[in-house]
């Protein structure tokens, strides 16, 4: 998702998840004054500012990073807190630039970002590199059995769409997300690894508002010629209507989607 405006529509669903998860797990972390904290994949910075910032210990500094220059430009434009700094960073890049020193951060968070990563090992190795000794991570990301991802994946099997989209990747690939992530965290050197799957639900007042979300998050449409983008989304909508984990209330038209997330915690 590269458009800050579109992300504002999708954001409220993520915010609910992150608030719940921080409420549940922040007490399992060791907090002290004057910490350096990093939020990876901050997007429009809403969760950084309104969820992470309020729980910062005294004299702490929050760095928020995103691969998208548009997101970081948006964050800087609407910046409201002096103790937050925004940076452009691709967390899966093989060589971090010299601006990013090892063992800088006491805590690293990442919410609804790491499912976009293709090189998970590199991303986790970079996170490990940036973390101080005994520093902690709390990561939240979706699994590849997400109904929206699967619907698009279904369309990509159709030659008509495949010829435009065969090189566009989205979501890490595994049938067992929990073991996949645990193994990578262990391999790059994390300790005290705890990964939990959770089933989440999100609600939309109509099919149209649900499809607005789909339009906002899907990375495929912009790779198609303009004149066939609407047809692609129409076909995605038809596939989504058949999906077991998306339910429509026949009386009100409200839509409920069920999806899985993983919460990963560990220390260095």
Ligand X SMILES: C[S@@+](CC[C@H](N)C(=O)[O-])C[C@H]1O[C@@H](n2cnc3c(N)ncnc32)[C@H](O)[C@@H]1O
CA angle centred on 265, ends 89 and 103, rounded to 5°: 50
Q: Does residue number 47 form part of the binding site for ligand X (CB under 6 A)? A: yes
Residue nearest to ligand X as judged by C-beta position = 43
Q: Does residue number 91 form part of the binding site for ligand X (CB under 6 A)? A: yes
Q: How far apart are CA 45 and CA 78, in angstroms?
A: 9
Q: How far apart are CA 18 and CA 48, in angstroms?
A: 10
Instruction: Please tell me the count of residues contacting ligand X according to CB under 6 A.
Output: 23
DSSP character string of 46-107: HHIIIIIGGGPPTT-EEEEEES-HHHHHHHHHT---TTEEEEE--TT-SS--TTS-TT-EEE
Closest contact distance (angstroms) between CB of 183 and ligand X is: 20
End-to-end CA distance of the chain: 31
Site mask, ligand X, residues 23-42, x = CB under 6 A? -----------------xxx
Q: What is the DSSP letter of 34?
A: S
Residue ranges in 196-235 that form contacts with ligand X under rule CB under 6 A: none
Q: How far apart are CA 146 and CA 197, in angstroms?
A: 13
Q: Does residue number 66 form part of the binding site for ligand X (CB under 6 A)? A: yes
Between 119 and 235, CB nearer to ligand X? 119
Q: What is the DSSP letter of 171?
A: S
Site mask, ligand X, residues 106-135, x = CB under 6 A? -----xxx--xx------------------
Closest contact distance (angstroms) between CB of 127 and ligand X is: 11
Between 60 and 92, CB nearer to ligand X? 92
- Contact positions vs ligand X (CB under 6 A): 1, 11, 14, 18, 40-43, 46-47, 66-68, 71, 89-92, 111-113, 116-117
């Amino acid at each position: 998702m590269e458009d800050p405006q579109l992300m504002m529509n999708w954001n409220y669903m993520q915010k609910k998840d992150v608030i719940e998860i921080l409420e549940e797990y922040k007490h399992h972390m060791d907090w002290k004054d004057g910490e350096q904290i990093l939020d990876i994949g901050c997007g429009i910075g809403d969760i950084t500012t309104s969820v992470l910032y309020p729980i910062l210990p005294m004299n702490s500094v929050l760095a928020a990073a995103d691969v998208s220059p548009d997101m970081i430009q948006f964050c800087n434009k609407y910046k409201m807190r002096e103790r937050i700094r925004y940076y452009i960073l691709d967390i899966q890049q093989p060589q971090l630039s010299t601006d990013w020193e090892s063992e800088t951060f006491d805590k690293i968070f990442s919410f609804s970002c790491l499912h976009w990563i293709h090189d998970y090992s590199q991303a986790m190795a970079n996170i490990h590199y940036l973390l101080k000794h005994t520093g902690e991570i709390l990561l939240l990301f979706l699994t590849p059995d997400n109904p929206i991802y699967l619907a698009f994946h279904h369309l990509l099997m159709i030659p008509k769409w495949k010829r435009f989209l065969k090189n566009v990747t989205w979501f890490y690939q595994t049938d067992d997300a929990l073991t996949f992530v645990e193994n990578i965290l262990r391999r790059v050197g994390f300790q005290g690894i705890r990964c939990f799957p959770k089933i989440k639900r999100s609600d939309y007042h109509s099919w149209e508002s649900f499809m607005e979300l789909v339009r906002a998050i899907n990375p495929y449409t912009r790779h198609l010629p303009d004149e066939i983008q609407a047809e692609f989304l129409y076909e995605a909508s038809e596939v989504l209507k058949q999906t077991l984990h998306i339910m429509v209330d026949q009386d009100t038209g409200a839509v409920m989607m069920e999806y899985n997330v993983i919460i990963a915690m560990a220390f260095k």
